[in-house]
Structures are given as C-alpha cells and as structure tokens.
Amino acid sequence: MSGSKPLTVVVVDDSLTTRALIAAALKRDLRVKVVGTAGTPFEARDLIVRLNPDVLTLDYEMPSMNGLQFLEKIMRLRPMPVVMVSGRLSSHQGLVEQALRMGAAEWYSKMALGSGEEPFAGLGDAIVRAGATKGQPAVSVGGSLGARVMAATKTGTVVGIGASTGGVEALTDVLEHFPKDCPATVIVQHMPKQFSESFARRLDRVVKPDVRLAEEGDVLKPGVVYVAPGGGRHLRIRGGVRPGEYVCQLVTAPPVNGHRPSVDELFYSLAATVGKNAVGVILTGMECDGAQGLLAMRHAGACTIGQDRASSVIYGMPRAAFELGAVDTQLPLSAIGPAILNLCERRSLETYP
C-alpha cells in the first residue's frame, strides 16, 4: 500500500453479526477502511459499482448465489482483489484450490483464531496483502496455475517444506500441483538414509518438476525439488556468489529435536538467507520439529502455511507451529499445493518489475 491512505473495503457476508464483527475488527486497523457492507451478492454488486473499493471480502455461504459463483462474475466482469472469508475454507476439501484458480487474492478462515485472539484477528493483514495486487493483470477463470507461477521463478523465490510421519503421501499430494517450472523447492522429510534416495526417485516419477537428493554446493534452480538426504547431515541454504543465488549446504552436526536432518535447521537457514522471498510449509508429523524455524521465517517476512488437523496423519508438527504463532494460514492438504503457487505468484508481482 502506497503512502498513508487506507485501503477501502466492502465486506460481503449474509450474517449481520459477522458483518458487524468484521467491521469492528477492521476499524482498529488504520491501514484499511470499511466503506460498505452487503448481505447478498446483489447488494455487493451495487456497492462495488458505486464505491469502487480497493478490496472485497467475500463469504462463501450466501443465499441465492454462493461466494465462488459471485467470485467468477467479479473476475470476469470487474476484476479486483478479493479475500475469501469463510468457516469452510479450512475444512472443505478443494474449496481453497478452486477459489485460487478463479482468481481470489487471499483467503481467511473464520476458524483460524488461536486462543485469546480477538475475532477476525489477522484479517487486516490479508486485506493489505490482497490490496498489494491491485492493478496487476487479473487471473482468467480456469487459468493455469502453472502459467501464473512462472514469473515467480525469476525472482529467487524459494519454497521450504518440512514433514515427518505421513509426509511421504502428503508431499506427493502437494507436489502433484506443481508445474514443471515451479519455484526452487527444498524438502526435509524425516526418514532413514537408505530410504531417502528411493523416495526422491519415486517423487521424480510422479510429479512434473525434477526431483533429486540435495548435494553439497547445489545451486537452487527453478523447476527442481531438492530432498534432504536422510541420515547424518542437516540441509541448510546459504547465499551464492551472485545476488539472488542460493546454495545447498550439507552440515555434519548433532541432531536437532532428535532429528538429522532437521526441519528447524532448514527453516532457520531460509529465514536468514532468503527472508521474505521464501514460503515455508509444515506438514503432518509427530512432535515439534520445524515450529521454531517456521516462526523465524514468518518474522523474516516469509509466508507460512501449516497443514490442518483434519487432513494430517499426525497433527503434531503443524499444531506446534500453529500454537507458537508461526503459521499464517492453516489449510487442508488438498489446498496447500495451489496455495504455495498463489503465494509465489504474489511474491513475483511484488518484486518483479
């Protein structure tokens, strides 16, 4: 957002109580200004034409026309930044993916509150991020996420993913959404050394990007997924010899959180080296490895995603990260791959001239 002028927002929700709660929450955020509220898509249409808001918040469940149907009309007839706000975004399989494909800039779950948080805490942040995309070309309905994310490969965006129990299938699900020219991606999956090579080969057979075991000195490249070798070394990312270049570093050091490689070690290095140009993702797994590192990534400006309870085989690592405040957004497994691509695209729009 440029200057000090707040972003104007129209809130669309069929519940009068919810509209009031959202308006009250946003009133405390000087970066945004609610200029209108609507209980139906038809009321929202008239407000959009009359007020020309910077951002629209849109509920999914509404009478006569659901939020996705209205989103399709918005993107076709009057493209603008839209934040989907719904209790179903964190539980309904495929809903977030569909919203992203149709052009939603952000999503916010009504169920995403931690203990002690005010209603709709963090919604202002989502609106500001969405507002940063205004003026960019609109995403056509049904467009390819692969084509949309290609610009992100030019900006040094790095995706870091950590997983443990249940992670083999979870990682496959996430990476199946990635196009061949995906942003450089680095993975730590807890597994014995003798299995990591076969795991990388299996992934390479079933997904579009190239998948390989990370080696000392590998320069991260778009279209390549680097898997940490299991066993005796941690995988860290350091800066290369050229600006925006990142390199794999395999480090012999004691286990962290009982693991080597450790997700925390990868995430800490991404926070220090890549900073806001990184996306951190924590998937199913026992205990807490990765939580502190993901928090460091979030503090460094990176976007962070955690797998939700319902879709996790073991809701240990994602829960620890969420309760620590390290997770921007919790999502079902089926929505994480598209969400990563959406975030990388947004990073590219913010940084690519």
Q: Which residues are catalytic?
A: 164, 190, 289
C-alpha distances in Å from residue 283, one per residue of 172, 265, 301, 351: 12, 16, 20, 27
Report d(CA 320, CA 327) in Å as an integer.
Answer: 10
Q: Determine how β-strand 246-251 pairs with β-strand 234-239.
A: antiparallel
Contact of 127 with 32, CB cutoff 8 Å: yes
What amino acid is encoded at 172 in this protein?
A: T
Report d(CA 85, CA 81) in Å as an integer.
Answer: 13
Residue of 133, 77, 83, 75 lying closest to 103 (CA atoms): 75
Report d(CA 159, CA 279) in Å as an integer.
Answer: 5
Burial class (CB in 10 A: 0-12, 13-18, 19+), 194: exposed
Q: Residue 180, CB half-sphere, CA atoms under 13 Å: how many?
A: 1
Stated as kind and residue range, the H or E segment containing 36 is strand 32-38
Q: What is the 3-state secondary structure (H, E, C) of 79-97?
A: CCCEEEEECCCCCCCCHHH
Give phi and psi for 221, each to the nearest 5: -130, 145
Contact of 9 with 57, CB cutoff 8 Å: yes
Tracing tokens 């390479």 back to the chain, one arrives at 204
